[in-house]
Chains A and B, each alone.
Chain A
Amino acid sequence: MSPFDPLREQLASAAAAFGPALVDDVEQALNTDVEIFPVCHHSPASALAMVRRLREKQPRVIYLELCEDLRPVLDELRNCTLPVALQAFASDIDGFPPEWAPLSVIAPITESSAEYQAIAYALDTPGVEIVLVDRSVDHVFQWEPRTGAAADVGIEIGDLRPGFAALEEHLLHHGKVRHWSEWWDQYVEQPLSGADYDTYRQVMTLIGSLFRRLKPEGNGVDEDRERYMWTRMREHLAATGTDPAECLYVCGAFHAVSPVLGEHLDISPRTSTTWLYGLIPASHSAIEDQFGLAPGSISIAAATWRKSVKRTRLTPYKLGGKSARTGPRPGTPAETEDRLSGFLAQPPSLDGFDEAELLGWCVEIVQLARRNGYLASTADAIAVYETSILLAGMRNRKRPTPYDFQDAAVTCIEKDVVPGRRDVRRLCEILLGGDKIGQVGYDSLPPLARDVLDRLQILGLDLSKRTIQRALIDLDARPELEPCSHLLWILRRLLPGDAVRLIMGSRRLGERSHQESWDLAIGRNQRSIIELGYEGVTIEQVLEQRLRRACWDEKATAAGALDAVEDSILYLGGRRLANELGARAVELLAGERTVDDAPDVLRRIRRLLAHCRAAEPELPEWTKSFVTTGYAHYCTLLPTAFVDEETGVRQVGAMLGFLFTMESLALSLGCDQAQLELAIQQSHPETPAKVALLWTARYQLGLLSMAELRERVGELLGNPLVVASVPQYVSGFVQALESAPTLAPFVVEVLSRAFGRLPDSVLLPWLPKLITTLRDQAAELVPMLVREAGRTFPARLADVDSFTPPWLARAPGKPVTPPSSEPVSALLAAHPETGAAVATLLGCTTVAGTRGAVAALLAAHPSTGAAVAEVLTAPAGLQRTSMSAFPSPSDRRARSLMQAGRPNGHPGGLT
């Protein structure tokens, strides 16, 4: 006995088992009681065979391999331009891992597919029923392995491709083709396009059987699906009593050769996830991308389909068309004959050479290339024609396929590669049909999308077009367009980038535009609008839900919540939602442990307060509570923020800004200023920038005078050991402007002195950094600084020579003697009207002849007079600002007290 005998036997038995098994599969599939129609996705040959078979057999029931719960959506296909996709969508999931949400299943349908022919036949022929038998979308996810994410599952009818990479490589290598679509086209698609039904069926089942048996990872899920489908079919047959001979079961060739034909499966119940169903537009390129097909293959399939239909003079079924013609009903099917042997023994018989078609392609590609910037001429058209034929000849084909043509065009036309220009390969794809994009008709849209289109109708634009449309809205001339503009603003907030683009106009708190201009690409973004429809019934409801979700999210911040409040006021109006979101913002603020968002919080609450003061009769409760909570919150966090390395200067500056500019309102609402004073006392920052901030805060509280502040800066500049860190002090001072705009002249002074005194080695590296920091972190403070600098420095060249900076002009060391109250009382006595007006404003009754009383009062409290005198004799820049709305430290307290009397008043600094 030879040592190789066992191996020989093993191989022989494998061959014996494998070979006949394929034929057994085919035979079994052909002999079921329900006729099986094997298909392959996006295959024109399948579609042609389907049309022929439907005309001949006129089945009464069609079972289709498609998720059973998608059935109601099929009727809506009537209103659509293909390709579209059936979509099932669930954002609210139950029974699946939460990280899977939202779940989405997409089943694209193209016109050149067998399943569309079956659907169109069934829906348009009276008395014919179509039954979807595949597992429901819920089961698709139930059977999914629970690992990783499972977003956007695509399903296709009849996915037919070797699951065994080595087999695919082998087929491609020996077929002398580049990719799978090309192999399929040459060896299956074309030979089958003219074949009779028996040949078609036998060949498809044979291929299905081959791929099935060579699939490496087993067929567990597939077998379960087949049992599922057969269970549903048997149930339907039993329930309706239909004769199985009048039915047609359309499924992928892979499933036609199942070893579990006719077996039963106990179907598990669905989870309680709520599924929403709809149609979304699809495109050839999207389908190719999702299912890993070669670019252009679906376009080529569509072109082949159109051509075959024309050549065979078949009338395909089309929804809404007049194709439902009833022919004679056939008799019993003929005996099965072996068509396989002949098919397999012969080389693929291809279509004859179509000269006119190739000539057309050649001329068109040259035109297209020229339009895309290539130097192409008629000579190139001739060369492409010749090269295509030669290439096809070399590849053993009588007729150049689109792939040969593509190669020839690349050879003859593409001379150089220019980035950004379409390459010739892409141009060929465009030529052969290009990317076709479907559209869902108005009647099939969800209510939200229809509502949007209805409300935009008044604009008089055709929004179903895929081009960008310009909408001009003159709100003064046509006030009836107001709701329309409002809707566009909401759409802009909800839809992705380019769907609704604002060209002119603005909408901010307290603002409204007179004219607006919009670029609308609604037709192009149909899918996004349809998916909004899964979230709610009206666009306002969707926005409300989104805002709520943003505020109650785990990662929500107070700044985010304030943003949502602003959006709700801008887009939804009404106070209910704003109040609710505002209350949530207070909650979030109180719970925050970091102050990273302080700048945003400050900016937004200022805006909101200003808006409420202007538009509301009184401040809403939540704003009051936000201010008091914020005051206490930031006071508590201030000492830590000053020393914490992680917290930036900008954040601390914003905190101080909040504390000082909201102080009057907070105090009027019952906060205690001692809290702030204590917090400042507890703060001991180490970094220079924060030290500078602390100095300004102390100055604000009156704990440090301007003279002392100046002195400290002078020391810094004079000390060679700390000169290097002066820039950091300056950035601290700049940030302090947030809380004390009165310090602007001082900051200008500091900057000027720094520029003048710092050595070049410190100054030059610092300058670019200063500019970038100012732009990034203090963009809103820069205009103030520039204005102040404009005031300080001479505007004309001639004045420069005689210019002395105000801080040098001041006589040094001259003590301010508190003036007696005499001149003031004299002034007041001479102009009693001012005093009377202030008294009326404060709610006192004017008393005539108050001179004596006033004089007595002033004499009793001379400090007020002294302070006023100080203000009046202060340097020019400082004086002007002090006279503006913002209080200086010494009268700040008095102002706070005045505010306390009038809670709705305008505290300084917020205007």
Chain B
Amino acid sequence: MLRAPAEIKYADELDYLESVDTGPKPFSWRLSPRMVRIFVLGSERSDGLDREIPQKWFGDRGFVERSIVTLASDRGLLLIGDPGTGKSWLAELLAAAVSRNSTLVVQGTAGTTEDHIKYSWNVSMVIAKGQSRESMIPSPIMTAMERGVIGRFEELTRSTSDVQDALISILSEKYVSIPELDDDNIVFAQPGFSIIATANSRDRGVNDLSSALKRRFNFVRIPVVTNKKSEAEIVRFRTAELLRRHQIDLELPPTLLDILLQSFADLRTAAASATSDDDKLESALSTAEQIGVLEDAILHSRFFGDNTLKAATLAGSLVGSLARRSPEDLAILNKYLHGVVEPRSKQDEGGPWSEFLSGGREAIATLS
């Protein structure tokens, strides 16, 4: 499997936590809320577990607690944040910990229809046998209702308002009726059912939620990580995972990680002080973006280099992934290289910053 879902990947941890869990469990939850928190945020000595649980999501503890508590309550959970802040990852971890199934996902797009949320029909079976429960194809959400587990809705605001509003009755009445059938025509949600939705704060204007739907969700806002220490932690954690997935054996030098974090921090400051959209990069400069840059650099040096990560490669990947508009983004990167990196490279002559500078220059020259 290229990428195992969290419940498979961390199956042994979940099994262990379930075995030692003595706390009260709401509905049909597999773990108690406190254990869910430990699963997501990692264990500490004071938790008294005889096995260490590593941290999987990095961010304020309050956000995780509020999310878990929302799932235990009557409302759905909506995670809002900039792209790349780890919303979907948190949603996956929560679903895996609560119901051991994080794959009941609806992806919201402009083309999502109500069928994707409720149910659709297997046309050939309907022709052969007529409409019945057998010829019906339940959506992931309906499956989650029937099983009493967590359903996920990615990018809720990308789907159109009428589709969004189909969720209202699911979240308040907790059933879906199938008017086409004469009997057995209502699917009731089993205890434990809830929905985790995610929404981009940048796209909120696309299809803003109706206030009726807003009422049925609790909002947890996840900010961009700006703390350098935890950001380094996240990048290291995710990159290790990616390297494992690609079966690459490559050392990630700490100085290069520092360079990556520092350059993103610089670019973020520049974006924050920009006065118009033309003065800032199109990218949101999120942590996920950093991981993307790093992954790109690693793959590049693995297959086209000598299997060691160099600052020049990193600079090339940085320019390659961040330059999306020509000439605006290229101009900003050029300004950054010459205004910020150049003075720094003069300070450490022959160090990684000068190599980074020359790599960046080369990449910009190629692109422009």
Does residue A174 face the partner (Cβ distance < 8 Å to B)?
A: yes
Measured between beta carbons, the chain A residues less than 8 angstroms from B69 are 387, 390-391, 394, 408, 411
Does residue B34 face the partner (Cβ distance < 8 Å to A)?
A: yes
Return B156 CB to nearest CB of chain A, in Å. Answer: 13
Return A295 CB to nearest CB of chain B, in Å. Answer: 16
Task: Determine whether the beta carbon of A178 is less than 8 Å from that of B62.
Answer: yes
Task: Determine whether the beta carbon of B37 is less than 8 Å from that of A379.
Answer: no
Does residue A386 face the partner (Cβ distance < 8 Å to B)?
A: yes
Task: Determine whether the beta carbon of A415 is less than 8 Å from that of B214.
Answer: yes
Which of B73, B75, B211, B214 has the most chain A CB atoms inside 10 A of its CB?
B73
Measured between beta carbons, the chain A residues less than 8 angstroms from B215 are 375, 377, 379-380
Measured between beta carbons, the chain B residues less than 8 angstroms from A386 are 73-74
Within 8 Å by CB of B219, from A176, A375, A411, lies A411
Task: Determine whether the beta carbon of B218 is less than 8 Å from that of A383.
Answer: yes
Q: Whose C-beta in chain A lies nearest to the C-beta of B218?
A: A411
Which of A178, A380, A416, A417 has the most chain B CB atoms inside 10 A of its CB?
A416
Q: Whose C-beta in chain A lies nearest to the C-beta of B209?
A: A415
Which residues of A (358-407) have their CB < 8 Å from a CB of B? 375, 377, 379-380, 383, 386-387, 390-391, 393-395, 407
Does residue B202 face the partner (Cβ distance < 8 Å to A)?
A: no
Return B177 CB to nearest CB of chain A, in Å. Answer: 23
Measured between beta carbons, the chain A residues less than 8 angstroms from B70 are 387, 411
Measured between beta carbons, the chain A residues less than 8 angstroms from B249 are none
Proximity bits, B47-74, A CB within 8 Å = 1, else 0 = 0000000000000011001101110111
A412–B66 alpha-carbon span in the complex (Å):
10
Does residue B44 face the partner (Cβ distance < 8 Å to A)?
A: yes
A219–B148 alpha-carbon span in the complex (Å):
61
Does residue A156 face the partner (Cβ distance < 8 Å to B)?
A: no
Return B85 CB to nearest CB of chain A, in Å. Answer: 16
Measured between beta carbons, the chain B residues less than 8 angstroms from A414 are 219
A412–B44 alpha-carbon span in the complex (Å):
29
Which residues of B (69-86) have their CB < 8 Å from a CB of A? 69-70, 72-75
Within 8 Å by CB of B61, from A176, A393, A410, A411, lies A176
Measured between beta carbons, the chain B residues less than 8 angstroms from A407 are 62, 65-66
Measured between beta carbons, the chain B residues less than 8 angstroms from A410 are 66
Task: Determine whether the beta carbon of A394 is less than 8 Å from that of B211.
Answer: no
Q: Whose C-beta in chain B lies nearest to the C-beta of A410?
A: B66
A414–B218 alpha-carbon span in the complex (Å):
8
Given contacts A174-B44, A383-B74, contact A394 B219 (CB under 8 A): no
Measured between beta carbons, the chain A residues less than 8 angstroms from B74 are 383, 386
A473–B168 alpha-carbon span in the complex (Å):
61
Does residue B33 face the partner (Cβ distance < 8 Å to A)?
A: yes
A213–B19 alpha-carbon span in the complex (Å):
43
Does residue B269 face the partner (Cβ distance < 8 Å to A)?
A: no
Which residues of B (324-343) have their CB < 8 Å from a CB of A? none
Q: Whose C-beta in chain A lies nearest to the C-beta of B34?
A: A394
Return A427 CB to nearest CB of chain B, in Å. Answer: 16
A365–B65 alpha-carbon span in the complex (Å):
21
Q: Chain B contact residues: over half helix, strand or loop, or mixed?
A: helix
Within 8 Å by CB of B75, from A174, A377, A412, A417, lies A412
Q: Whose C-beta in chain A lies nearest to the C-beta of B36?
A: A394
Does residue B366 face the partner (Cβ distance < 8 Å to A)?
A: no
Task: Determine whether the beta carbon of B73 is less than 8 Å from that of A394.
Answer: no
Does residue B273 face the partner (Cβ distance < 8 Å to A)?
A: no
Which residues of B (27-49) have their CB < 8 Å from a CB of A? 33-34, 37, 44, 46
Task: Determine whether the beta carbon of B65 is less than 8 Å from that of A395.
Answer: yes
Measured between beta carbons, the chain B residues less than 8 angstroms from A393 are 24, 33
Q: Whose C-beta in chain A lies nearest to the C-beta of B78?
A: A415
Proximity bits, B204-229, A CB within 8 Å = 1, else 0 = 00000001001101111100000000
A383–B70 alpha-carbon span in the complex (Å):
9
Q: Which size bracket describes the interface of A in this complex?
A: 20 to 34
A411–B74 alpha-carbon span in the complex (Å):
13
Task: Determine whether the beta carbon of B72 is less than 8 Å from that of A390.
Answer: yes
Measured between beta carbons, the chain A residues less than 8 angstroms from B44 are 174
Task: Determine whether the beta carbon of B73 is less than 8 Å from that of A390.
Answer: yes
Measured between beta carbons, the chain B residues less than 8 angstroms from A394 are 33-34, 37, 65, 68-69
A174–B66 alpha-carbon span in the complex (Å):
18
Return A4 CB to nearest CB of chain B, in Å. Answer: 23
Which of B34, B46, B74, B219 has the most chain A CB atoms inside 10 A of its CB?
B219
A414–B69 alpha-carbon span in the complex (Å):
16
Measured between beta carbons, the chain B residues less than 8 angstroms from A178 are 62
Task: Determine whether the beta carbon of A391 is less than 8 Å from that of B66.
Answer: yes
Q: Whose C-beta in chain B lies nearest to the C-beta of A414?
A: B219
Return B207 CB to nearest CB of chain A, in Å. Answer: 14
Task: Determine whether the beta carbon of A375 is less than 8 Å from that of B72.
Answer: no
A587–B62 alpha-carbon span in the complex (Å):
67
Within 8 Å by CB of A411, from B37, B46, B66, B211, lies B66
Q: Whose C-beta in chain A lies nearest to the C-beta of B172?
A: A379
Proximity bits, A520-549, B CB within 8 Å = 1, else 0 = 000000000000000000000000000000
Q: Whose C-beta in chain A lies nearest to the C-beta of B71?
A: A390
Task: Determine whether the beta carbon of B65 is less than 8 Å from that of A391.
Answer: yes
Measured between beta carbons, the chain B residues less than 8 angstroms from A174 are 44, 46
Which residues of B (190-248) have their CB < 8 Å from a CB of A? 211, 214-215, 217-221
Task: Determine whether the beta carbon of A375 is less than 8 Å from that of B65.
Answer: no
Given contacts A383-B75, A411-B218, contact A390 B33 (CB under 8 A): yes
Measured between beta carbons, the chain A residues less than 8 angstroms from B68 are 394
Given contacts A391-B65, A391-B66, A407-B66, contact A412 B218 (CB under 8 A): yes
Q: Whose C-beta in chain B lies nearest to the C-beta of A403?
A: B62
Return B78 CB to nearest CB of chain A, in Å. Answer: 9
Measured between beta carbons, the chain A residues less than 8 angstroms from B72 are 390
Measured between beta carbons, the chain A residues less than 8 angstroms from B211 are 375
Proximity bits, A411-435, B CB within 8 Å = 1, else 0 = 1101111000000000000000000
A407–B66 alpha-carbon span in the complex (Å):
7
Measured between beta carbons, the chain B residues less than 8 angstroms from A411 are 66, 69-70, 218-220
A380–B44 alpha-carbon span in the complex (Å):
34
Return B24 CB to nearest CB of chain A, in Å. Answer: 8
Q: Whose C-beta in chain B lies nearest to the C-beta of A173?
A: B44
A379–B75 alpha-carbon span in the complex (Å):
10
Return B33 CB to nearest CB of chain A, in Å. Answer: 5
A391–B217 alpha-carbon span in the complex (Å):
17
A387–B77 alpha-carbon span in the complex (Å):
12
A174–B68 alpha-carbon span in the complex (Å):
20
Which of B70, B217, B220 has the most chain A CB atoms inside 10 A of its CB?
B70
Return A866 CB to nearest CB of chain B, in Å. Answer: 67
A753–B70 alpha-carbon span in the complex (Å):
77
Q: Whose C-beta in chain A lies nearest to the C-beta of B46?
A: A174
A394–B65 alpha-carbon span in the complex (Å):
8
A178–B68 alpha-carbon span in the complex (Å):
18
A410–B34 alpha-carbon span in the complex (Å):
20
A692–B330 alpha-carbon span in the complex (Å):
51
Return B218 CB to nearest CB of chain A, in Å. Answer: 5
A541–B66 alpha-carbon span in the complex (Å):
60
Which of A176, A377, A386, A412 has the most chain B CB atoms inside 10 A of its CB?
A412
Return A763 CB to nearest CB of chain B, in Å. Answer: 31
Measured between beta carbons, the chain A residues less than 8 angstroms from B46 are 174
Return A19 CB to nearest CB of chain B, in Å. Answer: 20
Return B211 CB to nearest CB of chain A, in Å. Answer: 5
What residues make up the interface of B, taking CB atoms closer than 8 Å to A? 24, 33-34, 37, 44, 46, 61-62, 65-66, 68-70, 72-75, 211, 214-215, 217-221
Beyond known contacts A383-B74, A386-B73, A408-B69: 20 more, CB 8 A cutoff: A178-B62, A375-B214, A375-B215, A379-B215, A380-B215, A387-B218, A390-B33, A390-B69, A394-B33, A394-B34, A394-B65, A395-B65, A407-B62, A410-B66, A411-B66, A411-B218, A415-B214, A415-B217, A415-B219, A417-B221
A-B contact pairs, 20 of them (CB 8 A): A174-B44, A174-B46, A375-B211, A380-B215, A383-B73, A383-B75, A386-B74, A387-B70, A387-B218, A391-B65, A391-B66, A391-B69, A393-B33, A395-B65, A410-B66, A411-B220, A412-B75, A414-B219, A415-B217, A416-B219
Give 5 closest A-B pairs by Cβ, nearest first: A390-B69, A411-B66, A394-B33, A411-B218, A415-B214
